[in-house]
Every structure is written in structure tokens, then in C-alpha cells.
A and B are shown apart, each in its own frame.
Chain A
């Protein structure tokens, strides 16, 4: 079963624009993580935000977490062609296993 659901399923933008992806989840969480995957290869960890945090930044990435709405958003500013990838949110609601959503496919056109 999927805990996180990303929205939109796919996003296409021009280089330099901002990209926003949303994630909703169902149960209470300890933290929420965002991962990137290029062309069906391994996942790269982007950022982890804990349940007592509301916003976190890492370079061009900004993540927000609203535990009252059980939702998170990932903002990529000034996007580049190299940001083209699939983005997944993941939580660990049941012990130590990560539960992923189906992901958002981001395409950045140059």
C-alpha cells in the first residue's frame, strides 16, 4: 500500500522556471524524505524533514511540511535540464521500512 501520493504525476517546465511537487500521506510520521531518481537508476536522497520542522532548505530545494494536513511540498527553484528526473516522497509509518509514493516525473526543457 502507498503512504505517500505525489501530485502532479508529471510536470513539464522551461529551464529557469520553478517546479513544485506535492505529497500527501495518510498516517502520522516521524519524518518525510524526498528522493530523486534519474532514468530508472538508483535513488538519490535530497532532503529529510522531521515532523517538528515546518520548512527546510538545501541549495535550490525548499521543502515544507504541514502535519495538520498530512502534506509536504518540494520546490526546485531556477530549474536546470539536469533536474529532469522522477521525484518521490517517502515516509516510515510502520517501523523502519520506507513507503514511497508513485512519484512525479519532472521534465525541464532547455
Chain B
């Protein structure tokens, strides 16, 4: 049973560039949430996708956007990268749009460094 997978594992970009991160949810799950975790902090909710729509959004600017595909996989796009976007980006999957109301299964994360 495949768990949550994320790609790439590491990424280095320069300020002003754009980045796309990818996530495949756990088998049987249809809901994907994205979190940003800065060093020494807890994860911060970016947004959640369910039925190919953004269902809930955290306090992140429009530079952060996403997409969910018919196979439930998801992408996180960040435009005009800032140094402060350097973080571990975590994807979490769940079922039925429940999100935080039930157990979420996290992927290993993508570590983004912006120079």
C-alpha cells in the first residue's frame, strides 16, 4: 500500500524564480493538504484540495497556488520566490474532504532553499 509520495526531495532556486512541487496521496485518499514548515517551527497550513477544487486556504499570498488532478494527485506552485519561502513543504492526504477532522497522512516533504 503506497503511502504519500512527494517530489522532488530537495530543490534549490533563486529569488524571483517559480517552483512546482508534486504530491501523490495515499492509496484510497482523495483529499490533499499542503503545509509549509520553517526551521524550528510547526507546519503552517497553506491550502486543501478536494474534488479538484481549493476548499480552504491559510494565510498565504496569491503567489502560492495549487491544482488537483482527476487522479487526486496535487501540485503546489510558488511564484516570485522570496528568501522567506525557504522551508520544508509537506503534503498530507486524507479521505472525503475531512482534512484535520481526521488523521492525516504526511509525505516525506520537499525541502526548498531559495538563494
On A, residues with C-beta under 8 Å from B are 2, 4, 30-31, 33, 35, 40-45, 48, 88, 90-92, 95-103
Contact = CB atoms under 8 A, between A and B. Distances in A.
A103 B106 contact: no
B24 interface: no
Contact of A92 (B37, B97, B99, B105): B99
Given A42-B109, A45-B105, A95 B90 contact: no
A92 B108 contact: no
Contacts, number: 77
A98 B99 contact: yes
Interface of B: 4, 33, 35, 37, 39-45, 48, 55-56, 58, 88, 90, 92, 97-109, 111
Given A96-B97, A101-B42, A42 B90 contact: yes
B45 A99 contact: yes
Given A40-B111, A42-B108, 11 more contacts: A33-B100, A40-B37, A42-B106, A42-B107, A90-B42, A90-B100, A95-B99, A97-B33, A99-B45, A100-B42, A102-B42
Contacts of B102: 31, 48
Contacts of A31: 101-102
A97 B97 CA distance: 10
